[in-house]
């Protein structure tokens, strides 16, 4: 019998090709999953999500007892994911009232939640306070004044814009001075002075996402540590992942080392990974429909999803790989197109796959972060289900939207 094959780090660690060359995720056959749950579908190797959470916690724990790993839940705001992260002992960062609602539904203790947002509404702040959220991360003077007036004694962090930017797409770079997020360096002292009735526990900064170099985290730690004595320093998230085999992200060990490198003794360092916890643990299954060959130009392989289930290629020019679920490898260079009424609805331009045909299951790896999170109903397309696979068992944790769901809110 032919041996099974393990896959590159772009794929879930708990995935492989079986002896027939068919993709298995969490022990489940991708083609059978497509038949059972339909396509498109987000499929996660549940054990991989847990393993990556533990890897973060263990990397920090090996170096210090003063740390906290927060799940940056914007990457995958799904009740079942919150539940896993809470079970694995992580704390949680939410960026809206909706994410807070999901975090609570997923079982996070409110005091383990950090509430972010550059424009939290009074209603969201009230919700957070009533829920007993542990920390509010103050982003601007408007919010500071509101909290001073309405939330005496509330524990807070102050988000600063440190003027450090990592090498990444401008849309996901947040640490540079010209940013909508946080207090500019010139405003920090004034903001701290203004705090009277709140309990300022520390500073926060997030310099950007999909960072493939840890040096900016060291720089950030040094800067924040020099800005005052606080019990907490939150250095944000942003550790990059491998979307394609060409990406070479730093290890979690290197990330932890960099984050802790300039931490003063006794100060608790917080980090907020999002994509590094879930990105590579998930894949998206699609069904191939039309294959349109334009001789001498290109071949479009159209799938039954697109920018409604993965906005990142359109938003950031993000690059992915793809494979046919039972024919990995191959050298037919094609363009994977979505089914939306936009010429720009292209999931992957010029990717090599094996003779794609109508009816094939096409799989895009590394879609576990910001796929489900950014899913939308463009063209009235119902959003895909989320399937967790472990030990050969598949469970639907979010069902597919129906057409009835699309009219559900009509009044
Ligand atoms: C404040 C904050 N923390 C954490 C993250 C998570 O980033 P990533 O998913 O790249 O780790 C983000 C992403 O936008 C963020 O804005």
Cβ(276) to ligand 1 under 6 A?
yes
Q: Name the residue at shortest CA distance from atom 13 of ligand 1.
A: 209
Query: In 201-298, where does DSSP find H-type helix?
Result: 215-225, 252-260, 275-278
Task: Judge if the beta carbon of residue 313 lies within 6 A of ligand 1.
Answer: no
Q: Say whether 271 is catalytic.
A: no
Q: Is 272 in the pocket of ligand 1 (CB under 6 A)?
A: yes
Q: Are 42 and 367 in contact (CB under 8 A)?
A: yes
Cα-to-centroid distance, 268 and ligand 1 (Å): 19
Strands (E), 162-230: 183-184, 199-204
273 Cα–ligand 1 center, Å: 6
Spatial contact of 308 and 379, defined as CB atoms under 8 Å apart:
yes
Mean pLDDT, the chain, whole residue set: 96
246/254 Cα distance (integer angstroms): 19
Our answer on whether the CB atom of 70 is closer than 6 Å to any ligand 1 atom is: no
**Domains of the chain and any CATH numbers:** 5-45+279-407 (2.40.37.10), 47-277 (3.20.20.10)
Cross-strand bridge partners of residue 173:
208
Name beta bridge partners: 388.
44, 395
- Dihedral angle of Cα 93, 98, 104, 110, to the nearest 10 degrees: 50
Orientation angle between helical segments 97-105 and 79-87, nearest 10 degrees: 60
**Integer CA distances (angstroms), 203 to 62, 138, 172, 184, 252, in order:** 24, 9, 20, 12, 23
Residue-wise pLDDT for 46-65, tens only, equals 999 999 999 999 999 999 99
Alpha carbons within 13 angstroms on the beta-carbon side of residue 226 total: 8
> Is 361 close to ligand 1, i.e. is its CB under 6 Å away?
no
Is the CB of residue 273 below 6 angstroms from any atom belonging to ligand 1?
yes
pTM: 0.96
The residue whose CA has the least distance to atom 9 of ligand 1 is: 274
What backbone phi and psi angles, to 5 degrees, belong to 169? -60, 140
Q: Give me the tens of pLDDT residue by residue for the chain, a chain 411 residues long.
A: 446 778 999 999 999 999 999 999 999 999 999 999 999 999 999 999 999 999 999 999 999 999 999 999 999 999 999 999 999 999 999 999 999 999 999 999 999 999 999 999 999 999 999 999 999 999 999 999 999 999 999 999 999 999 887 666 665 566 667 889 999 999 999 999 999 999 999 999 999 999 999 999 999 999 999 999 999 999 999 999 999 999 999 999 999 999 999 999 999 999 999 999 999 999 999 999 999 999 999 999 999 999 999 999 999 999 999 999 999 999 999 999 999 999 999 999 999 999 999 999 999 999 999 999 999 999 999 999 999 999 999 999 999 999 999 999 999
> Separation of 154 CA from ligand 1 center, angstroms?
23
pLDDT in tens, 349-392: 999 999 999 999 999 999 999 999 999 999 999 999 999 999 99
Among residues 28, 78, 92, 341, the one annotated as catalytic is: 341
């Amino acid at each position: 019998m032919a041996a099974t094959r393990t896959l590159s780090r772009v794929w879930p660690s708990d995935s492989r090709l079986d002896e027939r060359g068919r993709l298995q995720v969490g022990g489940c056959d991708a083609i059978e999953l497509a038949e059972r749950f339909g396509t498109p579908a987000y499929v996660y190797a549940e054990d991989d999500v847990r393993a990556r959470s533990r890897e973060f916690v263990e990397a920090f724990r090996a170096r210090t007892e003063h740390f906290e790993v927060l799940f940056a839940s914007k990457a995958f705001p799904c009740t079942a994911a919150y539940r896993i992260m809470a079970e694995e002992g992580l704390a949680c960062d939410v960026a809206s009232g909706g994410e807070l609602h999901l975090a609570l539904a997923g079982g996070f203790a409110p005091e383990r939640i950090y509430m972010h947002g550059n424009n939290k509404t009074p209603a969201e702040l009230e919700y957070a306070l009533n829920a007993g959220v542990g920390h509010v991360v103050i982003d601007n003077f408007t919010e500071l004044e509101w909290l001073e007036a309405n939330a005496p004694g509330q524990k807070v962090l102050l988000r600063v814009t440190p003027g450090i930017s990592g090498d990444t797409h401008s849309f996901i770079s947040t640490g540079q001075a010209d940013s909508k997020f946080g207090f500019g360096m010139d405003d920090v002292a004034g903001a701290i002075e203004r705090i009277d009735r709140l309990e300022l526990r520390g500073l926060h900064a997030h310099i950007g996402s999909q960072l493939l170099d840890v040096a900016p985290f060291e720089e950030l730690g040094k800067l924040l540590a020099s800005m005052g004595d606080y019990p907490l320093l939150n250095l944000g998230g942003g550790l990059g992942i491998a979307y394609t085999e060409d990406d070479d992200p730093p290890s979690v060990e290197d990330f932890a080392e960099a984050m802790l490198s300039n931490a003063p003794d006794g100060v608790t360092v917080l980090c907020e990974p999002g994509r590094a916890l879930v990105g590579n643990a998930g894949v998206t299954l699609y069904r191939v429909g039309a294959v349109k060959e334009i001789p001498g130009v290109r071949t479009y392989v159209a799938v039954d999803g697109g920018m409604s289930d993965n906005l990142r290629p359109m938003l950031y020019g993000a690059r992915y790989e793809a494979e046919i679920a039972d024919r990995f490898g191959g050298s037919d260079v094609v363009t994977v197109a979505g089914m939306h009424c936009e010429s720009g609805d292209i999931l992957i331009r010029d990717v090599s796959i094996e003779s794609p045909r109508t009816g094939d299951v096409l799989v895009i790896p590394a879609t576990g972060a910001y796929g489900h999170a950014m899913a939308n109903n463009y063209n009235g397309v119902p959003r895909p289900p989320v399937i967790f696979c472990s030990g050969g068992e598949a469970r639907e944790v979010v069902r597919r939207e129906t057409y009835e769901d699309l009219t559900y809110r009509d009044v």
